[in-house]
Each structure stands twice: as structure tokens, then as C-alpha cells.
Structure 1
């Protein structure tokens, strides 16, 4: 990992930390009188502990399998972010790899876990149904507006430099690709399954803190990480925690406060930041 990568990721982490603090205060003000008891939707403590352990083992195996599959096909490791996300450096990334990344993550972290748990729990227990649509839409609108403005200003409006044709094809393609590759996996695996069980076992604060760490851990195989030496391993793990833990905590906070895992997806994931940040990357990869 080059020093420039480390500096760039460090700057991203610091900027995200400031933004997350501001957004957390705003969301708390919007939801403080109608916060949901997410822990009550989770199974009893022994079952929650057993299911959470199973999810952690499954998530680790899915990460290792994704890394092995990417290596076997001559690609980057398949992790929670497509190679080139956030800092560029996508190398030889092509359309086949991007599509395979989205398909693998949607299957491994969204479809299969959802089908397994849906046999025992309804959509409310999985935090996949709103119990207060007006509040949820308000939170989504406010957070999405702030995040969109922040991303557009912070990125020197890179997406605005695209031609009309590139934007017309690149924006919807990026939205669908990242929805499948990281949005729905985070929605199901982390927000619908892990966070409620953490709330049962560790309380609301614990669910937010540990939910952020789980979200960060799912990015340990991202393409920019390197484990070739002790120093690079320490740097990679440290930067993953710096860049992803606080955003992951905010996503978990949105779920804990609203009881609706969909809120994080539309307010702080699928559109902003990913569609706004990564459309130029997708345009390059697919040569649009």
C-alpha cells in the first residue's frame, strides 16, 4: 500500500467522522421521541447469541471465499467494495469482474441469509418493514440531502464532469451495481440480522458500536488493503477501522433509532455516497 493511498484514506476517514457526528445529532433530534426497541424484535438471548455467532462465522467464510474466487479468476479479491471505490486504483478491473462482484455479494450476503432467516422471522422482526413511514421518510430526506450536498462539494463535482450520455447510462448502472454489491448485502446481513441481535445482547449503544465494527470487518478484503508484511497488515486494518467504523456505526444508529433497515440504504448508502462517488468509476470500467 503506497503512502498516497494511506494519506487519501486517512483524509476520507477524518472527513467522514466529522460528517457522521453532525448527522447523528440531527437524526437523534428527529427520532428522539419515537425511537424503536429493536432488541425486542430479536430472539431470546441464547438464540440471539447462537445466531450471531453463526452469522460471524458465515461472514468470515464468505469473505475468504470471495477473496479466493477473485484470486482464482485473476481478479481483485471480492469484498464489500468494488476495486477502485473511494480512492481509484482499479487496475485491470473490467465489466465481468464488476458484474461478478455484484452477483457474488448479493447472493452471499443478501439472498441466502435472507432466505434462511425469513423462514423463522417476519419482516417486522427483521426490521424490513416501517412502523412509522412519515418519520422514516423525513430522516431519509434530511440525511440524503445533507450527504448529497457534502459529496458533490467534497468531490469537486467529479460526477458533474461526465457528459450527458455518460451520466444517463452511468448513473442507473452504478445505482444497480452498488445496490446489489454492497447496499442490499449491508441491509440484510448487517442491519436486518446482526444489529438487532447485538441490540439484544449488548443494548442500543453496544449495537451501534459493534455494528460499526462488523461493517468495517466486512471491508478487510477490499482491493486496496495489503497483508504482505506486518507493517502493511497493521496499516490496512487500522485504515479499514478508520474509514468504515464510524459510517458503519451511523448506519446501525439509523436502524436502532427507526427500527427500519431500509432507512440506512436510501439515506446513507445507495444514492449518496455510492452513486454520486462511483459513477465515474463505472463509466470507466464499462467504457461508457
Structure 2
């Protein structure tokens, strides 16, 4: 299946962006062929709609999750909020498409190895990620803490069981080591920084995308979410925001950037030949890294199913958008500054970190 993301024409048909990685050459094109990922798109949309209907029509008006930040919302209000967030993701994708339509296609699939090796590396990295999640579970629970996933307990939704400062620091260090440092050391031995999306091919356009997306996301959060951090006094907001930024950069942002967007996204594109499939797979992988979110409940089949569905409801869209940003720019750093480190994490989670570390 090929959706037009690859063009194997001669160098004469390409633009002036050419990068060598080992024996492979990456060619940037001036025009992007129109993607054809309709089956993937309709399948995902149908599954999304079916999940909405199943939850919306199920008995009861409340969900079995401990979400202090959403405690007053009914099930239908939460579904409306989730679908509004997905609509925002689609809108942002449209904005990014317009901002990047004139830049050369980075052709990320050519940054990955040939099909057989790409498959082996992808399966190996996914298996490694599962082991990392299991290691985070056993390490944290052995110490009496919440299992380590990509998000700290209480992130976005709040919690009545605050993590201890030692738990927060260990969570950040574990995730940084397992999902960022070790994979980067392994793959950097074989692939260049360009092949891993760690260098920009169009810095001005990248800055434009970052600025516009960050401004739009900030406005969306302020208008619709109204984060509590905006009500903090300056003597708490400034140190709290700085500490939140550093901790989440280490524990969530860099791990997602390296593991998913620098390494896996080019290989997903090489294996599927579809930009749409790559965006969806990136979203699912990103959601999977949040499997141990502290609010998820796995005490029964029904609650486990609900937890998996709401993990996808919560993280599929952001993961897809980060994947889309990487596909359009070829730069894994873009999503870090445009749509992760500052907004939502620093903007939303600063009050949580202020409370955990008892800043005064």
C-alpha cells in the first residue's frame, strides 16, 4: 500500500535538500503527492464512533475513574470534551498542512533502512518498550509507588494520592534513561542525526510552525480548560513552572520524542507506505506508553476495557498530531516545543508539581 509519501524518481526531479546517511541518500522534494490513506482513515473513524456510542449508551452517568479535575462532569460531558479535543487536533493538522505546504517533503521513509531491517528494528523497539513498561511497573510498585508510565500520577487529571518527591524524581530519571538515552545511544551508532530527525532541513518554517501551533494550543487551553496555574501567585508560578518544565521534559517529553518520533515514525512509514497509517500508529504507540496512568482501573474485564478505550480517547489524538508534525517537518524537535513541553504540560501540571514539592 502506498499513499504517495514516497517518490523514487531521479535526483533531477527533486529539490535541493539532500542528506547522506550511511549508504543511503535522503532527498527532499518540492511537491508532495496527495496521500491516499482512506481505508485506514475510515476504519479509525468507525472505531472512534463505535466507542463513543458504546460508552454513551451504556447504563450509568459516571465513569469508574478517579479524576479530581473532572469530578463534576458527567459521562456525556466528558465524551463531549474528548470529541472537542479531537476536533481541535484535526483543526491543528489543517493549520500545519497550510504552513508546510510549500516546503520540501522530508521523505522520512528514506531515513529508515530497507524493509526487512526496518521491520526487525520496529518489532525490537516495540518489544523493548513493553519491557520498559513492565520494568517501570515492578520497580515502582516494589517501592510502594504508582507504576511508571509516560505520565506522572496526577498528570492532567489530578489525583487524591499525591506522589512523593522521590517518586517524581525516580519516574523522570527512569523514563529518560529507558525511552530516550538508551535507544538514542543504540540507534545513533548506526544512523545520523538527520536520519533520526534531530536536525532541521527548514529552520525558519519549523519556527513558524512552532510559534503558530504553540499560540493556538495556549489559547485553546486558556479558553476551554482554564488551567489552575494561571491563578497561582508569581512566587509559586515561576519556580513551579520551571520545575514542572524540567521534570516533564525528562520524564515525558524527551522519552516520547526519541522513542516514538525520532525512531519509530520513519520505520512505520517505511513499513506501511502510508502517511495516514503512520499517523495512526504513532498515536496508538504514544497512547500505549500511558498504559500505567494512575487513574486506569484493571479490576474487571469491563473496567479494563473502559480504561483502554479512555487511554486511546485521551492520548490517540495528541499522539497523532505529534506524528503529523514529524511527518510534515521531518524534525522530531518541532512537536517538543509546539505541542508538549510548554502546552499542555507546563501550563496544566504546574499546580500539581507545586503541591507535590510543597513549594511556598
1:271 and 1:172 mapped to 2: Cα distance? Answer: 10
Given that 1:106 and 1:184 are in contact with CA atoms closer than 8 Å, whether structure 2 keeps it comes out as yes
How far is the alpha carbon of 1:201 from its aligned partner? 0.7
Q: 8 Å contact 1:94–1:285 — kept in the other structure?
A: yes
Residues 1:80 and 2:150 are matched in the alignment: yes
Task: Give, in whole Å, the separation in 2 of the partners of 1:172 and 1:90.
Answer: 24
The reply to whether residue 205 of structure 1 matches residue 263 of structure 2 is no
CA contact (8 A) 1:9 1:87 kept: no
8 A contact 2:149–2:292 mirrored in 1: yes
For residue 50 of structure 1, what is the aligned residue in structure 2? 120
- Please, which runs of 5 or more residues in structure 2 have no aligned partner? 1-62, 68-73
Q: Residue 169 of structure 1 is aligned with which of 239, 254, 260?
A: 239
TM-score, with length taken from structure 2 = 0.78
Say which of 94, 101, 106 aligns to 1:32: 101
Report which of the two has the higher share of helix. 1
Deviation readout 1:115-174 (Å, 9 max, x if unpaired): 010000010000110010011000000000000111122232411111111012101100
Aligned 1:76-155 pairs, distance under 5 A: 76-155=146-225
Quick one: distance in 2 between partners of 1:282 and 1:90?
Answer: 14
Partner residue in 1 for 2:304: 233
2:298 paired with 1:246: no
What is the CA–CA distance in structure 1 between the aligned matches of 2:115 and 2:78, rounded to whole Å?
Answer: 38
Aligned to 1:23: 92
SS of the residue corresponding to residue 182 of structure 2 reads helix
User: 1:2 is matched with which residue?
Assistant: 64
Instruction: Supply the distance in 2 between the matched residues of 1:124 and 1:135 (Cα, whole angstroms).
Output: 17
Segment drifting more, 34-43 vs 136-145 = 34-43
2:121 is paired with a residue whose SS is helix
Partner of residue 229 from structure 2, selected from 144, 147, 159: 159
Whole-angstrom CA distance in 2 between matches of 1:4 and 1:113: 33
Equivalent residue runs for 1:239-278 within 5 Å = 239-278=310-349
Of residues 263, 267, 279 in structure 2, which corresponds to 1:193? 263
Rounded Cα–Cα distance in structure 2 between residues aligned with 1:117 and 1:90: 40
- 1:33 Cα deviation after fit: 2.4
What is the distance in 1 between the residues matched to 2:174 and 2:306? 27
Tell me which structure has the larger Cα radius of gyration: 2
In structure 2, distance between residues paired with 1:164 and 1:122: 43
Tell me: CA distance 1:72–1:205, structure 2 relative to 1, closer, same or farther (3 Å).
same
Change (3 A) 1:78 1:144: same
Counterpart-to-counterpart distance in 2, 1:157 and 1:219 = 22
Bigger CA drift: 208-217 or 30-39? 30-39
Q: Which has the higher contact order (CA 8 A, sep 6+)?
A: 1
Structure 1 alignment gaps of length 5 or more: none
Deviation, 1:209, is 1.1
Q: TM-score, normalised by structure 1?
A: 0.96
**Matches of 1:234 and 1:33 in 2, distance apart?**
43
